[in-house]
Amino acid sequence: MDQAATADLTPSAGVVARPGRTLALLVLMVVGTVNFVDRQILSVLIEPIRAELHFSDTQLGLLTGLAFGLFYAAMGIPAAMLADRTHRVRLVAAACLVYSFFTGACGFATTFWQLAIARFGVGVGEGGGTAPSLSVLADYYPPEKRPAVIGLFTVNGPIGVFVGASLGGWAAGQFGWRGAFIAVGLLGAVAAAILAAVVREPVRGGLDPAPTRAAADEASGLAATVGLFLSRPTLRLLLLASGLSAFVSYGMLNWIPAYLMRVQHMPLAEVARWFGPAAGICMGVGIWGGGALVNWAGRRSLKAYAYVPGVAVLITGPTLALAVMASSWQASLALMLVPMITCTMFTAPVLALVQNLSPVASRATATALVLLAFNIVGLGGGPLAIGILSDALGKADVVDPLRVALIWVAPVAVLSALAYLAVSRVVIRDAANVLKETA
């Protein structure tokens, strides 16, 4: 049954490639990169902001995580439902314009609440980015190519981290942290205009198996989509597994720059010079590698969609702990290369599996449900939990409390790996049921 389910999740004979799909992929990657630059730049600028505005780690955890994540998650589902019914390319372009405006507004904040409100706005805008973009790409590429394509698309995250750290660190050195926010906001406005001008809206479901394509125009309501989503054990378990993976990934990535500067005394200029490229390359290898591994191994067994991210997150915990115990920023950054690769390997397999197990007309909404777990548990919870723990350890006179708080990410990584093991036990049956439902 495993081989049958794998083979049947391919388009029927005679389906041809979409013209312009490479251009669409590249431009959506650029817009997605701006998305992550807007998201990541605050993490790079934590120390100069803290020095000027005197924020606690808990406040910084709120700003880098929950303040953004809650509004991102709240807008993700309505934006995805709109994408399942309207012109997705224009929606993504409009969203890019919104979050770029509020990123620029961060540069004018003088209090915690002003900066928090600007971050709320960034989250609202970015809610209309990822899920609609993935829906567009799913209609440009057939099912068997989606893990690798989604892996390429989601490399925008590492590229965004690289650009955010390097450009943000350089701009902060030249113009101050406020000028860095304004520069990135202007960059996003340009990217939004390019997307609206050059990318065409593809036909929904045209590259899916014939039975699935027949239902491409039957858009489901939110309740129906949620009900169908939760009725499939694979998708339910993915909510837990991917949420915990995101907790580990966002938690460590949002705090590593502050850890290197505060605990290891790495200068901001060196963060821009070394951490930006290192994080960008490593996360790119991880995200692309996760998609490529599943693209290859998934032809033999659909369990690869669970095994690849499960093993990766299991490696992340102990290697992160080893890295933060190093005695210098050079050694710490070198050891950090492994967990920065493995912590992102879950992204492409999870998103590709959701695309392949969801109805064509509700793909964006189904993707938004998984992104909800990414953002509430991961982006919202990871940075905030580390910030709260760091403050609590500091009040207890623990030496280097941020270092100890980062080490406590490891047990969460183990829980995530166990959740992926549970996914591996149900994914084949769910894939076979999808084919029966659309037959």
* pTM attached to this predicted model: 0.68
Whether the pLDDT of residue 253 is over 50: the answer is yes
pLDDT tens digit string along 326-338? 989 999 999 999 9
pLDDT of res. 216: 46
Neighbouring residues of 219: CB distance < 8 A, sequence distance ≥ 6: 84, 85, 361, 362
Cα dihedral sign for 47, 50, 53, 59?
positive
Instruction: Tell which residue, 189, 159, 205, has the closest CA to residue 39.
Output: 159
Asked if 250 and 243 touch (Cβ cutoff 8 Å), the reply is: no
What is the C-alpha radius of gyration for the chain, rounded to an integer number of angstroms?
21
Q: How far, CA to CA in Å, does 37 sit from each of 87, 247, 326?
A: 25, 19, 28
**How far, in Å, CA of 346 to CA of 151, rounded?**
10
Instruction: Among 215-219, 250-254, 271-275, 312-316, name the most confident range.
Output: 312-316
**How far, in Å, CA of 9 to CA of 32, rounded?**
27
**141-153 average pLDDT score:** 77
**293-320 average pLDDT score:** 90
Asked if 143 and 10 touch (Cβ cutoff 8 Å), the reply is: yes
pLDDT of res. 294: 87
Asked if 122 and 70 touch (Cβ cutoff 8 Å), the reply is: no
Range with the lowest mean pLDDT among 6-20, 267-281, 358-372? 6-20
SS3 per-residue string spanning the chain: CHHHHHHHCCCCCCCCCCCCHHHHHHHHHHHHHHHHHHHHHHHHCHHHHHHHHCCCHHHHHHHHHHHHHHHHHHHHHHHHHHHCCCCHHHHHHHHHHHHHHHHHHHCCCCCHHHHHHHHHHHHHHHCCCHHHHHHHHHCCCCHHHHHHHHHHHCCHHHHHHHHHHHHHHHHHHHHHHHHHHHHHHHHHHHHHHHHHHHCCCCCCCCCCCHHHHCCCCCCCCHHHHHHHHHHCHHHHHHHHHHHHHHHHHHHHHHHHHHHHHHCCCCCHHHHHHHHHHHHHHHHHHHHHHHHHHHHHHCCCCCCHHHHHHHHHHHHHHHHHHHHHCCCCHHHHHHHCHHHHHHCCCCHHHHHHHHHHHCCHHHHHHHHHHHHHHHHHHHHHHHHHHHHHHHHHHHHCCCCCHHHHHHHCCHHHHHHHHHHHHHHHCCHHHHHHHHHHHHC
pLDDT of res. 430: 78
Q: Which residue has the tokens 């050891």?
A: 335
Asked if 366 and 233 touch (Cβ cutoff 8 Å), the reply is: no
Higher pLDDT: 338 or 275? It is 338
Average pLDDT across the chain, whole number: 82
| CA 354 to chain CA mean position, Å | 14
pLDDT of res. 61: 78
Whether the pLDDT of residue 12 is over 50: the answer is no
- Give the chain's domains with CATH numbers: 18-438 (1.20.1250.20)
Please report which confidence band the pLDDT of residue 11 belongs to, taking 50, 70 and 90 as the band edges.
very low
